[in-house]
């Protein structure tokens, strides 16, 4: 591994937008306002993180439809479930670590078993914060994916965050969505429209298949471009809905391109890589799989470029993973 660049952790508003050609500010907050203008059932809640999860945009526009729950995540999710039972469509925000670690039972029983129409919006997914293990939601997808009936989404960029917000507002059922907040890069084309449960082939190729979720798809697209310059044709399948998992699209790609690199902003167990491996076993597909993501450890705090380098999650690492699997 090359020496990681030395940076500074920065403040809690650190974003992954550095160096991005295009960005949008608070795509979730603005998309929620647009949805709420159409649908009076939509309400918002937060657990003392309104400013840090972009829902303050909604709160300013619809103060009567916004409920501050204080630093109390069980109460946050429980109240959201109660609101849903009266016909409201609640969007509840906090950080992923607090939603999934503190309020797990409330999501599993209140939201999922109860089929409550609740949307849990979870900030700081994976390594998108300079803070360490207390704030980095590195295993949230594994936890949420194992809950029956819960829809689990990890959007890639500002465009998809806005599209997914609109889509889950219309979807009747409990949803856990990871949130990219603040200044968020725009890397996907708007015509490439998000649909719940649909994986999208962003780039076709025959030599190696990248299957990625969340912000890692920005990096798999970059890695595919680097590989193309060396004559290697890489496919990029973007799986932003972890659950329900698009078995048809993933299975079709595995059958056609059996050399596979998965990429996720999450530990490599229990998330996307595991879902791909499960499918390969179920369908008896002989694939070679390399898993790029966070190893089985709590991570350091640090600047985002430092963390990406430290845990081998950059485009360069994805190129290397593809080259190794092609040997």
Partner 1 sequence: MNELPLTRDPAALRTRAKALRRHVLRMAEIVGQGYVGQGLGIADVLTVIYFSELRTRPAEPGWVDRDRFVLSTGHYAIGLYAALAEAGIIPVAELATYGADGSRLEMSAPETTPGVEMTGGSLGHGLAQSVGMALGLRLQGRDARVFNLLSDGECQEGSTWEAALAGAHHRLDRLIAIIDCNNQQADGAPAKVMGLEPLHEKWAAFGWHTQRVNGNDIPALLAAFTQIRATPGKPHAIVVDTLMGKGVKTFEEREKNHFIRVAPEEWALANRQLEESA
Count residues binding partner 1 (CB under 8 A).
28
Query: Is 86 or 230 the residue whose CB approaches partner 1 more closely?
Result: 86
Query: Is 2 or 86 the residue whose CB approaches partner 1 more closely?
Result: 86
* Helix, strand, coil % in the chain, rounded to nearest 5: 40, 20, 40
Q: Among 23-31, 101-109, 224-232, 308-316, which window interacts with partner 1 (CB under 8 A)?
A: 101-109
Q: Is 279 in the site for partner 1 (CB under 8 A)?
A: no
Q: Is 83 in the site for partner 1 (CB under 8 A)?
A: yes
Strands 23-25 and 183-185: antiparallel
Q: How far is the CB of 81 from partner 1 (least distance, A)?
A: 5
Q: Is 84 in the site for partner 1 (CB under 8 A)?
A: yes
As beta bridge partners, residue 229 has none
Q: How many CB atoms lie within 10 A of CB 205?
A: 20
Closest CA to 60 of 89, 26, 86: 26
Question: Which residues have C-beta within 8 Å of that of residue 326, sequence separation ≥ 6?
Answer: 207, 208, 232, 259
Give the three-class secondary structure for 47: coil
Beta strands in the chain (DSSP E): 23-25, 42-46, 66-68, 89-95, 119-123, 151-153, 175-179, 183-185, 200-203, 208-212, 234-238, 241-243, 259-267, 288-294
Contact set for partner 1, span 25-44 (CB under 8 A): 43
Measured distance CA(15)–CA(304) in Å, rounded: 8
Q: Is 110 in the site for partner 1 (CB under 8 A)?
A: yes
Query: Is 81 or 253 the residue whose CB approaches partner 1 more closely?
Result: 81
Q: How far is the CB of 326 from partner 1 (least distance, A)?
A: 49
* End-to-end CA gap in the chain: 19
Contact with partner 1 (CB under 8 A) among 74, 192, 269, 301:
74
Q: Among 79-87, 204-212, 260-268, 270-278, which window interacts with partner 1 (CB under 8 A)?
A: 79-87
Contact with partner 1 (CB under 8 A) among 114, 132, 149, 197:
114
Query: Is 35 or 322 the residue whose CB approaches partner 1 more closely?
Result: 35
Q: Is 79 in the site for partner 1 (CB under 8 A)?
A: yes
Closest CA to 201 of 215, 221, 216: 221
Contact set for partner 1, span 53-72 (CB under 8 A): 64-65, 67, 69-70, 72
Q: Among 11-19, 82-90, 158-166, 315-323, which window interacts with partner 1 (CB under 8 A)?
A: 82-90
Contacting residues toward partner 1, per CB under 8 A: 43, 64-65, 67, 69-70, 72, 74-75, 77-88, 90, 105-106, 109-110, 113-114
């Amino acid at each position: 591994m090359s020496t990681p660049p030395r940076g500074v952790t920065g403040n809690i508003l650190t974003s992954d937008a550095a160096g991005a050609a295009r960005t949008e500010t608070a795509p979730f907050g603005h998309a929620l306002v647009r949805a709420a203008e159409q649908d009076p059932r939509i309400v918002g809640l937060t657990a003392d993180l309104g400013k840090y999860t972009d829902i303050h945009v909604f709160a300013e526009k619809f103060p009567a439809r916004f409920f501050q729950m204080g630093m109390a995540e069980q109460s946050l999710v429980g109240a959201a479930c109660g609101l849903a039972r009266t016909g409201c469509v609640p969007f509840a925000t906090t950080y992923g670590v607090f939603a999934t670690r503190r309020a797990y039972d409330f999501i599993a029983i209140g939201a999922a078993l109860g089929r409550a129409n609740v949307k849990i919006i979870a900030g700081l997914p994976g390594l998108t914060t300079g803070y360490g293990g207390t704030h980095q939601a590195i295993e949230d997808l594994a936890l949420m994916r194992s809950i029956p009936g819960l829809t689990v989404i990890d959007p890639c960029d500002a465009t998809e965050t806005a599209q997914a917000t609109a889509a889950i507002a219309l979807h009747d059922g409990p949803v856990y969505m990871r949130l990219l907040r603040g200044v968020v890069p725009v890397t996907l084309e708007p015509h490439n429209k998000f649909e719940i449960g649909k994986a999208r082939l962003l780039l076709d190729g025959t030599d190696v298949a990248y299957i990625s979720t969340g912000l890692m798809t920005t990096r798999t697209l970059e890695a595919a471009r680097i590989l193309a310059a060396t004559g290697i044709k890489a496919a990029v399948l973007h799986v932003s809905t972890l659950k329900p998992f698009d078995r048809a699209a993933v299975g079709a790609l595995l059958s056609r391109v059996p050399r596979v690199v998965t990429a996720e902003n999450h530990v490599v167990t229990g998330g996307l890589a595991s879902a791909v491996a499960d499918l390969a076993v179920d369908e008896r597909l002989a694939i070679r799989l390399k898993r790029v993501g966070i190893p089985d450890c709590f991570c350091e705090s640090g600047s985002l470029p430092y963390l990406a380098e430290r845990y081998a999650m950059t485009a360069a690492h994805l190129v290397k993973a593809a080259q190794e699997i092609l040997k």
